[in-house]
């Protein structure tokens, strides 16, 4: 992909590129009210989904083609560029016919090469800019493959959107960021603009500002943020949408650094630390679950909780291992004591729980 070009130039839009608008177009009034406020705050690219991929059937699946007319009205009234998500050939054809400025491919679609190829084929012969979200699963090659399919159809104004990856179970993020993946993508395709979607990543309003700052610190080119005139009444993704006023406030707090070279590697290292701390906490939680099982066993067998010999062995062996790995034995002793204290507390809780 030798000839990648920006979806919009910095001169045209400034840095970072900001794309904002509701998760879904719901009514003409909602779209126009939101768009007018965003335009007043200087936003130049408006987003709204009109065909909504929903995890389960029965949810709000988008307004469909009529939304294209509303988007074109936004364009005419505010001068903003307008963009929407496409997932198949008929979406592409309808969007192109209506005159939409830019398209994006959603995370569920970019995970499916058949769907991406169908979109690519229907884009051939046009030069509309396209943004490709990361696939739901953390697979860089699949993401690059999707970009290649679109590129091979002749679309060279391309960008990638990091919106985080699906993880099973309960986590802080709706979709886990894995910054090293877009950073590696940037290394492999330096001409590709990279945009962060903190709304789908965090899934919560309060995570939008910190995730946006993190993305900028890592040298991302832009942000795509969901904004709705009345987020609490939104028909989709309401807990992650913010009003144009809040969006403007957040954008004003963000620090855009000139030279991202040095902060990029620092941020990368910090990201690794965060990841390791998360792993440590999850492992500790696992250890505590096992402690509770031991507590249950001791309860059933009427055994006492603390066995000094065993505790002594633990302390000595962990000190020794820590020293072998270049850490101080005293440091490890402090940690093991703290872990032991929490284990005992968990076991006492099991002991006192008469229902079990
Ligand atoms: C969206 O942008 O509204 C959307 C559906 O996002 P994703 O494909 O990232 O889930
Ligand atoms: Mn959404």
pLDDT tens per residue across span 65-91: 999 999 999 999 999 999 999 999 999
CB of 234 within 6 A of ligand 1: the answer is no
CATH for 284: 1.20.59.10
Nearest to 147 by CA among 134, 165, 138: 134
Do residues 63 and 203 share a domain? yes
Question: Quick check: is 83 in a domain?
Answer: yes
Q: Is the pLDDT of residue 355 over 80?
A: no
CB of 163 within 6 A of ligand 1: the answer is yes
């719901």: which residue's tokens? Answer: 26
Residue 356, pLDDT score: 46
CB of 75 within 6 A of ligand 1: the answer is no
Question: Quick check: is 160 in a domain?
Answer: yes
Do residues 280 and 298 share a domain? yes
pLDDT tens-place string over residues 306-335: 788 889 999 999 999 999 999 999 999 999
Confidence of residue 9 (pLDDT cuts 50, 70, 90): confident
Do residues 115 and 202 share a domain? yes
How confident is the model over 113-122, as a mean pLDDT?
98
Confidence of residue 286 (pLDDT cuts 50, 70, 90): very high
Distance 264 CA to ligand 2 centre (A): 28
pLDDT tens-place string over residues 168-196: 888 889 999 999 999 999 999 999 999 99
Q: What is the rounded distance in angstroms from the CA atom of residue 193 to the CA atom of residue 19?
A: 13
| Domain final position from 209, 234, 258 | 258
Cβ neighbours around 314 below 10 Å, total: 14
- Per the CB < 8 A criterion, the answer to whether 164 and 214 are in contact is no
In sequence order, the β-bridge partners of residue 69 are none
**Burial group, residue 192, by CB count within 10 angstroms (0-12, 13-18, 19+):** buried
Confidence of residue 244 (pLDDT cuts 50, 70, 90): very high
Note down the domain range covering 61.
Answer: 10-258
Do residues 283 and 173 share a domain? no
How confident is the model over 267-294, as a mean pLDDT?
89
Q: Is the pLDDT of residue 263 over 80?
A: no
**Burial group, residue 290, by CB count within 10 angstroms (0-12, 13-18, 19+):** exposed
- Per the CB < 8 A criterion, the answer to whether 47 and 20 are in contact is yes
pTM of the model: 0.76
pLDDT tens-place string over residues 302-312: 888 778 888 99
Closest C-alpha residue for ligand 1 atom 9? 107
């Amino acid at each position: 992909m030798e000839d990648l070009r920006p979806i919009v130039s910095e001169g045209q839009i400034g840095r970072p590129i900001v794309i904002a608008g509701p998760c879904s177009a719901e009514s003409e009034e909602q779209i126009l009210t939101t768009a007018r406020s965003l335009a007043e705050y200087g936003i130049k690219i408006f987003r709204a989904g009109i065909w909504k991929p929903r995890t389960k059937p029965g949810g709000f699946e988008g307004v469909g083609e009529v939304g294209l007319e509303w988007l074109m009205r936004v364009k005419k009234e505010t001068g903003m560029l307008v963009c929407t998500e496409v997932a198949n050939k008929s979406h592409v054809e309808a969007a192109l016919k209506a005159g939409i400025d830019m398209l994006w491919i959603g995370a569920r679609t970019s995970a499916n090469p058949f769907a991406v190829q169908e979109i690519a084929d229907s884009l051939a012969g046009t030069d509309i800019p396209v943004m490709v979200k990361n696939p739901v699963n953390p697979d860089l090659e699949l993401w690059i493959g999707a970009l290649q399919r679109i590129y091979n159809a002749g679309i060279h104004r391309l960008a990638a959107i990091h919106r985080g990856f699906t993880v099973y179970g309960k986590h802080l993020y709706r979709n886990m960021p894995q910054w090293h993946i877009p950073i590696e993508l940037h290394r492999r395709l330096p001409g590709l603009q990279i945009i962060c979607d903190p709304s789908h990543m965090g899934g919560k309003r309060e995570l939008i500002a910190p995730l946006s700052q993190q993305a900028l610190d890592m040298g991302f080119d832009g942000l795509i943020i969901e904004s709705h005139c009345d987020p609490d009444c939104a028909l989709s993704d309401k807990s992650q949408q913010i009003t144009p006023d809040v969006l403007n406030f957040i954008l004003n707090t963000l620090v855009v650094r000139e030279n991202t070279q040095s902060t990029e590697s620092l941020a990368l290292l910090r990201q690794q630390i965060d990841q390791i701390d998360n792993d440590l906490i999850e492992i500790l939680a696992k250890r505590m679950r096992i402690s509770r099982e031991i507590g249950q066993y001791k309860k059933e067998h009427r055994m006492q909780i603390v066995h000094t010999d065993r505790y002594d062995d633990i302390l000595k062996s962990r000190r020794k291992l820590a020293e072998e790995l270049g850490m101080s034995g005293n440091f490890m002793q402090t940690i093991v004591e703290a872990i032991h204290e929490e284990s005992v507390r968990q076991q006492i809780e099991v002991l006192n729980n008469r229902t079990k």
